Amino acid sequence: MIVVMARDTSDDDLNAIRERIEARGLKAQISQGVERVVVGVLGSIPPDFKDEMELMNGVTQVVMISKPYKLASREFHPADTIIKVGDAVIGGPKPVIMAGPCSVEDEEQMVSTAKAVKAAGATILRGGAFKPRTSPYSFRGMGEDGLKLLRLAKQETGLPIITEVMATADVETVAKYADILQIGARNMQNYNLLDEVGLIGKPVMVKRGLAASYEEWLLAAEYVMAGGNQQVILCERGIRGFETFTRFTLDVAAVPVIKRLSHLPIVADPSHSTGKWYLVTPVALASVAAGAHGLLIEVHPNPDLAKCDGPQSLTFENFDMLMEQVNAIASVRKQPVTAG
Amino acid sequence: MIVVMARDTSDDDLNAIRERIEARGLKAQISQGVERVVVGVLGSIPPDFKDEMELMNGVTQVVMISKPYKLASREFHPADTIIKVGDAVIGGPKPVIMAGPCSVEDEEQMVSTAKAVKAAGATILRGGAFKPRTSPYSFRGMGEDGLKLLRLAKQETGLPIITEVMATADVETVAKYADILQIGARNMQNYNLLDEVGLIGKPVMVKRGLAASYEEWLLAAEYVMAGGNQQVILCERGIRGFETFTRFTLDVAAVPVIKRLSHLPIVADPSHSTGKWYLVTPVALASVAAGAHGLLIEVHPNPDLAKCDGPQSLTFENFDMLMEQVNAIASVRKQPVTAG
Amino acid sequence: MIVVMARDTSDDDLNAIRERIEARGLKAQISQGVERVVVGVLGSIPPDFKDEMELMNGVTQVVMISKPYKLASREFHPADTIIKVGDAVIGGPKPVIMAGPCSVEDEEQMVSTAKAVKAAGATILRGGAFKPRTSPYSFRGMGEDGLKLLRLAKQETGLPIITEVMATADVETVAKYADILQIGARNMQNYNLLDEVGLIGKPVMVKRGLAASYEEWLLAAEYVMAGGNQQVILCERGIRGFETFTRFTLDVAAVPVIKRLSHLPIVADPSHSTGKWYLVTPVALASVAAGAHGLLIEVHPNPDLAKCDGPQSLTFENFDMLMEQVNAIASVRKQPVTAG
Amino acid sequence: MIVVMARDTSDDDLNAIRERIEARGLKAQISQGVERVVVGVLGSIPPDFKDEMELMNGVTQVVMISKPYKLASREFHPADTIIKVGDAVIGGPKPVIMAGPCSVEDEEQMVSTAKAVKAAGATILRGGAFKPRTSPYSFRGMGEDGLKLLRLAKQETGLPIITEVMATADVETVAKYADILQIGARNMQNYNLLDEVGLIGKPVMVKRGLAASYEEWLLAAEYVMAGGNQQVILCERGIRGFETFTRFTLDVAAVPVIKRLSHLPIVADPSHSTGKWYLVTPVALASVAAGAHGLLIEVHPNPDLAKCDGPQSLTFENFDMLMEQVNAIASVRKQPVTAG
């Protein structure tokens, strides 16, 4: 349930609302907007409580939210959420490109890639220091040494960093270096990890699990938000289908669906979903045309030598060409969903 | 296996090749190109036969085709197939829009829709006279009376017609009225029907079955082509996934994948795949950005009253807005796969 | 809607009911049971019609059927449907085994297999004369010559025959030889074919489409039944999943689900679903334990030389061992769903 | 690669082998069997190393293992792994039944359920203290208080305990109370958690992720085993499919497939996979008939009042009937896969 109040509601009225909510064993979450104040009410709402709230001072409207996710729903927060990181504005009209290698390997690789993707127009640098690998015998990332190389690349280029965190014990360390923390698809329902990143003051990107419904995905975001962190970005990275030619099946309709159900920014990852470099550009353009707020693209100075995901990584030249086309598409698209 | 010969190969040399192929119990399929002649060899190739062919007069190259589909493969026919129907050129740089109602209902509905979609830029008219319906108790289409209304709308607007054929017994009748015959997703592996439309002289659009792999889909096209009809269009219309919010899951990567594996044109159907009108435009734009040669869009004068698929049909106004954006995207896209 | 009447309802009362139903543009389907008469009402029921029926002479109860399938639903026909073919009783407590080769190849193969499977306890002979093949270049069956060999094997052993029909034009021919007509998974939504087999007087087995929901599958059966043929058997043959180690994923829960939703017999096909001979026996036993009314098993004198599906065919020896275990399981199982 | 040596190999020979392996940067894992000693070699094997090993003292055979999982593969460890917990022998001919409520609620519920399932023949008690819930607002379990109630129920009945661990930080605590630690489907690729339970001396049950291939699932087990813990049990609990009538789709073929690919015990969870109590028994019987080493069954004194998963929980009476039928099936089944 959300309680909408006039912008100039007095503190007394607001406190009265809060107290009444808490007296019923519910939780109040207050958002001060430009034109109104919205109080979210979390918990199991008693049948008569809506009427009770409507009669209180300063209340202009009370709306029940039928969805199981509350904070993440557009009903709860009608305007698009905008997240600012460095020069990047995620959730606005211009798509934000996050690019870099699958895994951090060495200084030369990181710094050269950071410079190349920045020159081409990327505004966020990606790179994996902690890598989830299907086999225990695969390269599992450089760990904190990798984070240090990411910081070095940031110092050289000014690009903020997005990188994955896999374990609750690493959240503090990763948050020291990263500007955005990424929750991987395999951890989308690792609830202890979601709880933990709900407590930090940095944006979190939640990748869709490979068999997650829209509702389960938004509930994963809800875990982070229920912890207090409202800066959540969603990332469509392909679901598991029956086709084996591509690594996963990018569900492009997820972009407009999420924009309708939620106020959170939604980006797409054509690299992991396709698994083949020559499919990355067409699928990236499709995602942008569908309204995605950004892209996650794997770029490597020499994909043939990459320690991880070489076949799906773009060379600097191919990334340049992708950026050129992304900008052309973005310049002509209209936003298919407009927010109130 | 394909045997490549010089453009100026003599008829005698070509006949000698053909005889040698047939002497081995194989079948020869000859394509006269501008720069060369390509002889496709169908059947189980004996181990020494490649060497034998390479030694024959006029042969410049012999290439084994590893894929189970031969005629449909890009190896067999490197240049894009272009299909002309009325003013529409399917397979070229400009996306071809096929629009109209799910099912033909009456003259007023068909003619008004035909005029509206033509005015907005569509160049092919769609409409179902024979409708595959999940329940035997649903409206199953007007049959030949529907085809007559389609012809009327064609006479009024000049738009060529695409319509579905469901039964071998109806192929002749449907071909009398239609410019393109559509094989629906449920019939993608109805091999008798595929055989039958392989014998007609009109283009055939093969929709992807809802659990068909790329290979199975191309093999369905191969059935039509093996019958002698090389004018095949493929249509991605969404696969069955676990998500129930959308009707099906449009696999946007299918567009560049098919363009790489095959020379046949590939179009997308955002209406059936999403099942919700407000998702049609973003998914249509995504498909065009990914390189689709065309779109199939359901349009109805009054979607709320439609006898079939109302929730996914666009109004004339919404279709106008879709066309405007499709044209903008198409004007800036580069073709992600170029043909030799 | 179904109207339940006492067993001793007079013809006059029954006729009055029928006329009243038809006067509303609905269709009446009358089933004379041992303890009662059930009148099924098909069509769109007006709101007040239930009350009207309840007041008529002889009516003991009126039940609305909410499911989209009516004739196939257990609400409509509470008792299990029993289908008798030769010595086989399909739908009763004893599982019926239908065994034989994927495709009919020659007399020796058919007759020796028929004798072997009969000796082991099978009571129906299977064998494909018309074969649906993914590639147009694969062996597509012997056609009517194959049907003649099936008849020969029937004459030698007394086993009734089940075989696939793929085309409406072949229904009459196939029905001349076969005791049960099989609709393959690829044709589960080939509605013209379903309509056609609805008109014949022989049992029809409808295999589940590889991406068909329970409802879509029961609606395919409904097509056959709406045509007048109530002798329908359902066959779970595996759905398409993401795992490629097995050919398909046998959904064993389909057995008890179908027994709850429908009165029609349900059998399982472990051969096609697994694609590997060494998985056939465990999956067959699982299906029987779950309550399946029968099994479809591929058996070949020499699987390595089979023209079709050799890897999933059992040798005679392996089939003997399967039968021994099937009988043991069947002897101890209780029917998980009991019918009224 | 595995190096097989005679049973009476001297320590010197064995040490020589180990040193040679480690000198190449590889890791040796030695298993002393009754009839032979097997040395597993982990890492990237150089091309000439097989020949080198074959020439060494005491070596009778060297086998390359092509699968990405090594320790979990049957090639590596041909005999079935048997795990003993209390009176239960998991991996032997008799199916082991693990039963109890979805979540621990109170003493009365736990103790009464433990006594009831023991009386019916269960030999392991299940119950959730830490619950993974899709929504952050659902009941997430009693935590350590729940573990204490499980211990109490164990003291009353003697039944060993299986319970889920969700977080690396909880592994030590859970291991203090539990006899088997369960890794839930959502955490199957939570690699830090898998690493952690690889270090403890108690059996671990790894549930299949809802979109995990057999290979990915066995690689999850490999993570635990690579950490040193060889006591791993696999649990098929249903994969995500397109059908929504059941909660998940139990892949019954997984049972014989896993028994062929791996030596680890495999059990099935009909409760979570079906989501409906009336489907639990038929699917349980199917799993046992297919060769499952055990079952995980949800039982509750009063399913209608359960805090979690009531609709899929059996009453004590229904559990009694299930056990009776499970025993009947188990008494007649032959093990479909025999180990060397």
Q: What percent of chain C stands above pLDDT 70?
A: 97
Q: Express each pLDDT in D71-118 by its tens digit.
A: 899 988 889 999 999 999 999 999 999 999 999 999 999 999 999 999
D99 has which bridge partners? D125, D297
Q: What is the pLDDT of residue C77?
A: 87
> What domain range includes position C21?
2-63
Q: Among A73-82, A301-310, B31-40, D187-196, whose mean pLDDT is lowest? A: B31-40
- Do D100 and D125 form a contact (C-beta atoms < 8 A)? yes
Bridge pairing between strands B88-90 and B83-85: antiparallel
Q: Average pLDDT of A1-15?
A: 89
Bridge pairing between strands D2-6 and A204-207: unpaired
Q: Express each pLDDT in D269-283 by its tens digit.
A: 999 999 999 999 999
CATH number, domain with residue A189: 3.20.20.70
Is the model's pLDDT at D121 over the cut of 70? Answer: yes
- Sort out which chain A residues have CB atoms less than 8 A from C244's CB and list them: 244
Is the model's pLDDT at B261 over the cut of 70? Answer: yes
Check CB contact under 8 Å for C136 and B43: no
Q: What is the pLDDT of residue D340?
A: 30
Whether B338 is covered by a domain: the verdict is no
Nearest by CB: A336 against B241, B246, B282: B282
Residue B103 DSSP symbol = B
Nearest CA in chain D to C244: D213
Whether D338 is covered by a domain: the verdict is no
- Sort out which chain A residues have CB atoms less than 8 A from C242's CB and list them: 240-242
Structure token pair of residue A138: 């695969």
d(CA A266, CA A289): 13
Question: Are C201 and C294 within one domain?
Answer: yes
Whether C71 is covered by a domain: the verdict is no
Q: Express each pLDDT in C286-335 by its tens digit.
A: 999 999 999 999 999 999 988 888 899 999 999 999 999 999 999 987 65
- Sort out which chain A residues have CB atoms less than 8 A from B246's CB and list them: 253, 257
CA of D80 vs chain C CAs: smallest distance (Å): 18
Question: Are B185 and B289 within one domain?
Answer: yes
Question: Are C317 and C277 within one domain?
Answer: yes
Q: Among A183-197, B31-45, C61-75, whose mean pLDDT is lowest? A: B31-45
Is the model's pLDDT at D337 over the cut of 70? Answer: no
Nearest by CB: A191 against D166, D189, D209: D166
Whether D69 is covered by a domain: the verdict is no
Q: Among A38-52, B274-288, D249-263, whose mean pLDDT is lowest? A: A38-52
Q: Among A155-169, D56-70, D168-182, whose mean pLDDT is lowest? A: D56-70
d(CA B115, CA B316): 10
Q: What is the pLDDT of residue C335?
A: 54
D249 has which bridge partners? D239
Q: Among A232-246, A308-322, D56-70, whose mean pLDDT is lowest? A: D56-70
Burial of C16 (0-12, 13-18, 19+ CB in 10 A): middle
Residues belonging to chain D with any Cβ–Cβ distance to chain B shorter than 8 Å: 240-242, 244
Whether C47 is covered by a domain: the verdict is yes
Q: What is the pLDDT of residue A236?
A: 98
Find, among B196, B258, B228, the residue nearest to B71 by Cα: B228
Kindly report the three-state secondary structure assignment for every residue of chain D: CEEEEECCCCHHHHHHHHHHHHHCCCEEEEEECCCEEEEEEECCCCCCHHHHHHCCCCEEEEECCCCCCCCCECCCCCCCCCEEECCEEECCCCCEEEEECCECCCHHHHHHHHHHHHHHCCCEEECECCCCCCCCCCCCCCCHHHHHHHHHHHHHHCCCEEEECCCHHHHHHHHHHCCEEEECHHHCCCHHHHHHHCCCCCCEEEECCCCCCHHHHHHHHHHHHHCCCCCEEEEECCECCCCCCCCCECECCHHHHHHHHECCCEEECHHHHHCCHHHHHHHHHHHHHCCCCEEEEEECCCHHHCCCCHHHCECHHHHHHHHHHHHHHHHHCCCCCCCC
Question: Are D245 and D317 within one domain?
Answer: yes
Residues belonging to chain D with any Cβ–Cβ distance to chain A shorter than 8 Å: 42-43, 68-69, 132-137, 140, 166-169, 186-187, 189-193, 209-211, 216, 219, 222-223, 226, 239-240
Q: Average pLDDT of B205-232?
A: 95
Q: What is the pTM of this model?
A: 0.92
CA of B271 vs chain A CAs: smallest distance (Å): 12
CA of B60 vs chain A CAs: smallest distance (Å): 30
Average pLDDT, rounded, for chain D: 93
Report the largest interatomic distance among the alpha carbons of chain B, rounded to a whole angstrom.
Answer: 67
Check CB contact under 8 Å for C214 and D255: no
d(CA D257, CA D251): 10
Residues belonging to chain C with any Cβ–Cβ distance to chain A shorter than 8 Å: 240-242, 244
d(CA B289, CA A285): 6
Nearest CA in chain A to C243: A242
Q: Among A259-268, A313-322, C75-84, whose mean pLDDT is lowest? A: C75-84
- Sort out which chain D residues have CB atoms less than 8 A from B244's CB and list them: 244
Find, among C260, C266, B243, the residue nearest to D280 by Cα: C260
Whether B71 is covered by a domain: the verdict is no
Answer positive or negative: Cα dihedral of D114, D118, D119, D120.
Answer: positive
Nearest by CB: D166 against A70, A133, A192: A192
Check CB contact under 8 Å for D167 and A192: yes
Q: What is the dihedral of CA B170, B173, B179, B185, to 10 degrees?
A: -10
Q: Write the CB contacts of A15 (distance below 8 Å, at least 6 apart in sequence).
A: none
Q: Write the CB contacts of A126 (distance below 8 Å, at least 6 apart in sequence).
A: A98, A99, A100, A101, A161, A162, A163, A182, A296, A297, A298
- Sort out which chain B residues have CB atoms less than 8 A from D241's CB and list them: 242
Q: What is the pLDDT of residue C76?
A: 85
Q: What is the pLDDT of residue B336?
A: 47
Average pLDDT, rounded, for chain C: 93
Bridge pairing between strands D294-298 and B2-6: unpaired
Whether D78 is covered by a domain: the verdict is no
Question: Are B214 and B104 within one domain?
Answer: yes
Q: What is the pLDDT of residue A189?
A: 96
Question: Are B157 and B43 within one domain?
Answer: no
Nearest CA in chain B to A291: B282
Q: What is the pLDDT of residue D228?
A: 84
Q: Express each pLDDT in A13-35 by its tens digit.
A: 999 999 999 999 998 888 776 67
- Do B150 and B143 form a contact (C-beta atoms < 8 A)? no
Q: What is the dihedral of CA D266, D269, D274, D275, to 10 degrees?
A: -160
Q: Average pLDDT of D201-215?
A: 97
Instruction: Specify the number of domains making up chain D.
Output: 2
- Sort out which chain B residues have CB atoms less than 8 A from C25's CB and list them: none
Q: Express each pLDDT in C158-173 by its tens digit.
A: 999 999 999 999 999 9
Residues belonging to chain A with any Cβ–Cβ distance to chain B shorter than 8 Å: 211, 213-214, 239, 241-246, 249-253, 255-257, 260, 273-274, 278-279, 281-283, 285-291, 325, 328-329, 331-334, 336
Q: What is the pLDDT of residue C6?
A: 86
Q: What percent of chain A stands above pLDDT 70?
A: 97
- Sort out which chain A residues have CB atoms less than 8 A from B334's CB and list them: 325
Q: What is the pLDDT of residue A203?
A: 98
Q: Average pLDDT of A207-222?
A: 97
Whether B98 is covered by a domain: the verdict is yes
Q: What is the pLDDT of residue C334?
A: 67
Q: Average pLDDT of A192-199?
A: 95
Q: How confident is the model at residue D64 (pLDDT cuts 50, 70, 90)?
A: confident
Report the largest interatomic distance among the alpha carbons of chain C, rounded to a whole angstrom.
Answer: 67
- ipTM score of complex: 0.90
Nearest CA in chain C to B187: C190
Question: Are D58 and D207 within one domain?
Answer: no
Q: Express each pLDDT in C34-63 by its tens digit.
A: 677 888 888 888 889 999 999 999 999 898
Question: Are B130 and B232 within one domain?
Answer: yes
Question: Are D40 and D173 within one domain?
Answer: no
Is the model's pLDDT at D334 over the cut of 70? Answer: no
Chains that touch C (3 or more CB pairs under 8 A): A, B, D
Q: What is the pLDDT of residue A81?
A: 96
Question: Are B17 and B136 within one domain?
Answer: no
| CA-atom Rg of chain B in angstroms | 21
CATH number, domain with residue B42: 3.30.70.1140
Question: Are C59 and C101 within one domain?
Answer: no
Question: Are C167 and C296 within one domain?
Answer: yes
CA of A295 vs chain C CAs: smallest distance (Å): 26
C304 has which bridge partners? none
Q: Return left, alpha or beta for B291; rule: phi > 0 is left, psi -120 to 50 is alpha, else beta.
A: left
Q: What is the pLDDT of residue B292?
A: 98
